[in-house]
Amino acid sequence: MDILSGKSLAFKAELLLQRGIQFEAVPRWQRYETGIYWEEYEKAGYDPHRNLETITTRHRVKIDKDLPVKDEYGAFIGHLLAAQAVDV
């Protein structure tokens, strides 16, 4: 049974304060979680067969400790899903 389930953020912050913890002093990633997702990035390279500088698109795992909140979070997720749909 989760005794904090359904409780307001203000209630939880007050509960922490009673134990000497200021909610706003806690790092953002601990308050709002962390996101892990794929991101695209460009990498410069060199093609020795054609003697040409090249740029390619690569993927890497992104660990995001500063996720947006509220309405911005919805837009952020929409952007990730739209980008993923293009890659498929």
Sign of the Cα torsion 34, 40, 42, 48 reads positive
Express each pLDDT in 71-84 by its tens digit. 999 999 999 888 87
**Residue 2 falls inside a structural domain:** no
pLDDT digits (tens, 9 = 90+) for 5-59: 888 889 988 999 999 999 889 888 888 789 999 999 999 999 999 999 999 999 9
Q: Which residues contact residue 1 at a Cβ distance below 8 angstroms, ignoring those fewer than 6 apart?
A: none
Dump strand ranges (E) for the chain.
35-47, 52-64
| 52: in domain | yes
81 within some domain:
yes
30 domain residue, yes or no: yes
In-domain check, residue 34? yes
Domain region containing 83: 9-87
Number of domains the chain contains: 1
